Amino acid sequence: MLGLLYDLFKIILLLILPFALLIRSATFIHVEYEVNAYLCLLGAATNTAILLFTYFSFVYGKLTGKLGSFGGLKRRGMLALFVVLVYITHGVLFFSSSNLKNQALRSEINSLHPILRLSVSTLVYLDRDLIITDASRVPEDYHRMGLPSKNKSLHFEQPSSGFAHAIDLRTNGRGLIRNNLVTGYFWLMGFNTLRHVGTDDHLHVSLKSHDAPYAK
């Protein structure tokens, strides 16, 4: 029984690893090298494609008993990169309305940093009930909500990237364990997380901004 559970754990880990590597690589490149958002994703895609290529080659070797020709290796590499790029494109560009608090958020999502968009869309595969309550803002929004005005906020579009670097997620009615798992996911992926209990209880998730490196 323990052996079966161990094998199941390994399979789950192997399935999760490419997604974790993709997002964690992207955040690492962004934080450490301060490059364009899409270059971060391209670098992360390359790392993940290498991992998928290894998976494909392992399975091919198990089935055939050989590594294959140079042409076969090349096709596997191209397939791995294609799969990752399709996944990134879908994760960055497409959000279900069921995961948005309201339709006004759809335009805000397009202003959100692509790495944040990808991380949230990946989490939605595991947490279908995840609700985004806020994304990008402008200074006037704080007056409208009855909050003190801010000169700097990671919800604002950042000058160096052109994207907002923060998103808010609903926590009400989701339970302590579920909220802690979501918090842990974003922390492991390299994001900052804060539980805000001001105007409405929510989880504030942010990606480092090089314009305001200590802001959260």
User: How do residues 65-98 score in pLDDT, each as one tens digit?
Assistant: 788 788 889 999 999 999 999 999 999 998 888 8
Distance CA 155, CA 109 (A): 11
End-of-domain residue from the set 72, 93, 114: 93
Burial status of residue 94 (CB atoms within 10 A of its CB: 0-12, 13-18, 19 or more): exposed
120 and 184 in a single domain? The answer is yes
pTM listed for this prediction: 0.89
Residue 182: count other Cβ atoms within 10 Å of its Cβ.
Answer: 20
The closest of 213, 212, 193 to 204, measured between CA atoms, is 193
Domain span holding position 173: 97-206
Mean pLDDT, residues 20-27: 97
Distance CA 55, CA 46 (A): 14
Q: What is the DSSP letter of 183?
A: H
81 and 30 in a single domain? The answer is yes
87 and 165 in a single domain? The answer is no
| Domain-located, residue 212 | no
Q: How many CA atoms lie within 13 A of 209 on its CB side?
A: 24
Place of tokens 């595991």: 126
Percent of the chain with pLDDT over 90: 55
| Domain-located, residue 215 | no
66 and 164 in a single domain? The answer is no
The closest of 109, 94, 119, 132 to 21, measured between CA atoms, is 119
Distance CA 204, CA 216 (A): 9
10 and 65 in a single domain? The answer is yes
Provide the pLDDT confidence category of residue 140 given band limits of 50, 70 and 90.
Answer: low
End-of-domain residue from the set 93, 126, 145: 93
84 and 104 in a single domain? The answer is no
Which residues, including other chains, have CB under 8 Å from residue 117's CB and lie 6 or more apart? 91, 92, 95, 109
Distance CA 42, CA 22 (A): 10
Count of the separate structural domains present in the chain:
2
Place of tokens 């808010």: 168
68 and 132 in a single domain? The answer is no
Least confident of 46-55, 110-119, 144-153, 184-193: 144-153
Does residue 156 register a pLDDT over 60? Answer: yes
| Domain-located, residue 77 | yes
Q: Which residue has the higher pLDDT, 13 or 194?
A: 194
Mean pLDDT, residues 190-195: 93
| Domain-located, residue 213 | no
Report residue 213 as tokens.
């490196």
